[in-house]
Homo-oligomer: A and B are copies of this chain.
């Protein structure tokens, strides 16, 4: 069995580049001529565009008016008009008409008096007998001289330019009809693995949907290539070898996903070895390290191949790091440096020494501070790449970064969208997803981090969020949230507004097989509970109610197993990992589970006064008053919107 040996990224890139260069494949692949008016947009120029014609290609009138000799208007003034006769001394021209060669200026039609044969004013502005002027013109006034825009032979567009609408128009205007562009690289995307099933095929336990081939093919197209998505090949050396051999004959690059690791069924490296050469197996990059870089060789042609790791985030980053620069090179395109911004890390990051670590982050501007909040770091969590605003790269030799440390974020979204981001930290509620969807239609992006109700208040205190969602019950008063503010967010003046009332209860498997009726049943022997994390409002509620029943949490099996959202609790029950958990009805319904309602509680949003009247949050207040959104939320089981938008208190 071959074990991976991760080598540094630069070394991997250098080996790949050297092999490509040796094969004559480290430059523009080929060029082709295409008509500039058919799908040329987005293509990369292989040759510069030099103006063939000047534009305008003659002296053109810049106005509807009368062409004259400027000198003949000398002395014209309100009291001393000059009269010129047509067609010898003046001639009508439309905007864009060539200036007749005997004239050198144009007088706009608004500035003349048109005269008939008898010297009287006429409305026949285009065909008067004469014109009277009360102001002179200078030579070349209202004339667009030949070449004003482009002079024949000058450089209009450099090679390597990605063609935009204005580029195409300029090329057309200076006499081009076809343009030499780089041929689009042909890239095969080959999904492999006996566990893979095609999108839409029925799923059995252990099947994995082949979403990576969609990812890689879309990346390739985004970067100018033409992707061929192949049928899934099972883990079979001979079958894989045959397909890869065939693909290499018809493509410029082959991406094999996955089988790039060193497991028993990971054939990719051996197949590449059998058809050419493995240059690199293992790169010190996270996520993504089991990358293979190789070169296929059928004796006539050498074709680069990348063994792409199977985890989706690893696959996406492998595309970014190895495929994108190659496609750019093949099209002669200078890759722009990524746009970066500086931000402050919300929490500590650790990173394996020696790896280049790509950490997905959400970026938010909260008051004067710009925060980068790390998202899930698992290589399998593609949703965190979907949600990410950018990447923080912890380089080789960096073991991590402390909370509060400044970091550079490579942006994955336009900078301006970051200013539309509302950061909500705290307890999770399904309503936040509906709110996020509503806000996305109103120019805002709601990004939520689920750290529990207490965590949200602490985040407000640290200035890390625009608002918090909280449902902290005060056991003394039966009131929500208010008594916790001085403890967790001292000194932060806030507005507390009701969002929903919702039922909390036991999430149980369909049919409630254990016949659970209340919290008292949790201590039952053999029952496996799944809990929420400390600081979560649901946890506070549980502990409060257990206290009333005199039940010790330690007596409940699974009390230590903590999940961070209602849905995760429900997922644990749905998966049979637990027999029950405390959460909201909607989470149970979402996963087809049953629900034993126990309590009704209030979930509020808590907004620092600093942001309450900000333009950023203005749409939020609109959302809370929107009848359609209310209807949608009310449709969730166990939800009540009667207190939605109600001002509970302004504190501090």
Instruction: Enumerate chain A interface residues (CB-CB to B < 8 A).
Output: 1, 36-37, 40-41, 48, 50, 53-59, 62, 64, 94-98, 101, 125-126, 139, 144-161, 164-170, 172-173, 175, 177, 195, 199-200, 203, 205-206, 208-219, 221-222, 229, 261, 263-265, 310, 312, 316, 319, 332, 334, 336-340, 376, 378, 380-386, 414-417, 419-420, 430, 433-434, 436-437, 440-441, 443, 561, 565, 567-568, 570-572, 574-577, 590-591
In contact, B577 and A152 (Cβ under 8 angstroms): no
Listed by A's residue number, 7 A-B pairs whose Cβ atoms lie within 8 Å are A95-B263, A97-B195, A158-B437, A158-B440, A165-B214, A168-B218, A337-B417
Contact: B206 with A98, CB < 8 Å?
A: yes
Task: Specify the main secondary structure of chain A where it touches its partner.
Answer: loop
- A575 partner residues in chain B, CB cutoff 8 A: 58-59, 145-147
Q: Give the top 3 A-B pairs by smallest Cβ distance, nearest first.
A: A153-B590, A165-B218, A158-B440
Assembled-state Cα–Cα distance A381/B56 (Å)? 9
Which chain B residue shows the least CB distance to A384? B149
The reply to whether A205 and B98 contact each other, CB–CB distance below 8 Å, is yes
Contact A96–B168 (Cβ < 8 Å): no
**Docked complex Cα distance between A56 and B203 (Å):** 12
CB distance from A44 to the nearest CB of B (A): 11
A579 to B136, CA, bound (A): 26
Return A652 CB to nearest CB of chain B, in Å. Answer: 32
User: Which chain B residue has the least Cβ–Cβ distance from A139?
Assistant: B561
Q: Is the CB of B149 within 8 A of A94?
A: no
A101 to B205, CA, bound (A): 12
Cβ-defined contact, A152 with B591, below 8 A? yes
CB pair B215–A155 under 8 Å, yes or no, is no
CA of A337 to CA of B417, assembled, Å: 7
CB atoms of A144 and B96 under 8 A apart: no
A214–B169 touching, CB < 8 Å: yes
Query: Contacts of A414 on B, CB cut-off 8 Å?
Result: 336, 339
Tell whether, in the assembled complex, residue A165 and residue B219 are in contact, meaning their CB atoms are under 8 Å apart: yes
Other A-B pairs beyond A149-B383, A169-B218, A336-B414, 20, CB < 8 Å: A36-B199, A37-B199, A54-B591, A59-B577, A96-B310, A97-B206, A98-B205, A145-B572, A145-B577, A146-B575, A147-B575, A148-B381, A155-B436, A165-B216, A173-B211, A173-B312, A173-B382, A175-B209, A334-B440, A338-B416
Asked if A382 and B159 sit within 8 Å, CB to CB, the answer is no
Asked if A167 and B386 make an inter-chain contact with CB atoms under 8 angstroms apart, the answer reads yes
Alpha-carbon distance between A98 and B312 when the two chains are bound, in angstroms: 18
A175 to B202, CA, bound (A): 10
In the assembled complex, the CB of A162 is this many whole angstroms from the nearest CB of chain B, namely 11
Whether B169 and A215, one on each chain, are in contact in the complex, defined by CB atoms closer than 8 angstroms, is yes
Q: Which B residues are CB-close (under 8 A) to A152? A: 567, 571, 590-591
Q: Are A568 and B440 in contact (CB under 8 A)?
A: no
Contact between B96 and A208, CB atoms less than 8 A apart: yes
Contacts of A334 in B (CB 8 A): 420, 440-441, 443
Chain B residues near A98 (CB, 8 Å)? 205-206
Chain B residues near A206 (CB, 8 Å)? 58, 96-98
> Which of chain B's residues have a CB closer than 8 A to the CB of A96?
195, 206, 208, 310
**Given the complex of chains A and B, what is the CA–CA distance between A268 and B565 in angstroms?**
60
CB-based nearest B residue for A193: B96
Chain B contacts for A159, CB-based, 8 A: 437, 440-441
Kindly report which residue of chain B lies nearest to residue A109, judged by CB atoms. B263
The reply to whether A218 and B164 contact each other, CB–CB distance below 8 Å, is yes
A433 to B212, alpha carbons, bound, how many Å? 44
| Closest B residue, CB atoms, query A123 | B1
Residue of B nearest to A50 (CB): B433
Residues of B within 8 A of A153 (CB): 430, 567, 590-591
Tell me whether B380 and A144 are in contact (CB under 8 A).
yes
Are A214's CB and B37's CB within 8 A? yes
Asked if B145 and A433 sit within 8 Å, CB to CB, the answer is no
CA distance A561 to B572 in the complex (A): 84
The interface centre, meaning the residue of A96, A126, A261 with most chain B CB atoms within 10 A of its CB, is A96
Check if A41 sits within 8 Å of B310, measured CB to CB: no
C-alpha gap A78/B468 in the complex (Å)? 47
Contact, CB under 8 Å: A169 / B437: no
Residue of B nearest to A561 (CB): B139
Give Cα distance in the complex from A219 to B200, angstroms: 35
User: Which of A54, A169, A430 has the most chain B CB within a 10 Å cutoff?
Assistant: A169
The answer to whether B41 touches A380 (Cβ under 8 A) is no
Residues of B close to A164: CB separation below 8 A: 218, 222
Residue of B36, B48, B173 touching A437 (CB-CB under 8 A): B48
CB distance from A96 to the nearest CB of B (A): 6
| Residues of chain B contacted by A167 (CB below 8 angstroms) | 386
A163 to chain B, nearest CB (A): 8
Q: Given A151-B565, A155-B436, are A264 and B64 also a contact pair (CB < 8 Å)? A: yes
A261 x B126 contact (CB < 8 A): no
| Contact status of A336 and B417, CB under 8 A, knowing A94-B265, A153-B591, A154-B433 | yes
Cβ-defined partner of A215 (8 Å) among B125, B166, B437, B576? B166
Task: Looking at the assembled complex, report how far the CB atom of A382 sits from the nearest CB atom of chain B, in whole angstroms.
Answer: 5
Kindly identify which residue among B41, B155, B161, B376 contacts A222, using a CB–CB cutoff of 8 Å.
Answer: B41
Contact across chains for A378 and B37 when beta carbons are under 8 A apart: no
Cβ of A339: which chain B residues have Cβ within 8 Å of it? 414-416
Q: A337 to chain B: which residues have CB within 8 Å?
A: 416-417, 419-420
Please state if B316 and A166 are interface contacts (CB–CB under 8 Å). yes
A383 touches B150 (CB 8 A): yes
Please give, as numbers and ranges, the residues of chain B lying within 8 Å of A417 by CB-CB distance: 336-337
**Complex Cα spacing A221 to B43, Å:** 14
Which residues of B have CB within 8 Å of A415? Answer: 339, 415
B170 engages A386 (CB within 8 Å): yes
| A265 proximity list for chain B (CB < 8 A) | 94
- The answer for the CA separation of A139 and B489 in the assembled complex, in Å, is 35
Task: Tell me the smallest distance from the CB of A365 to a CB of chain B, in Å.
Answer: 13
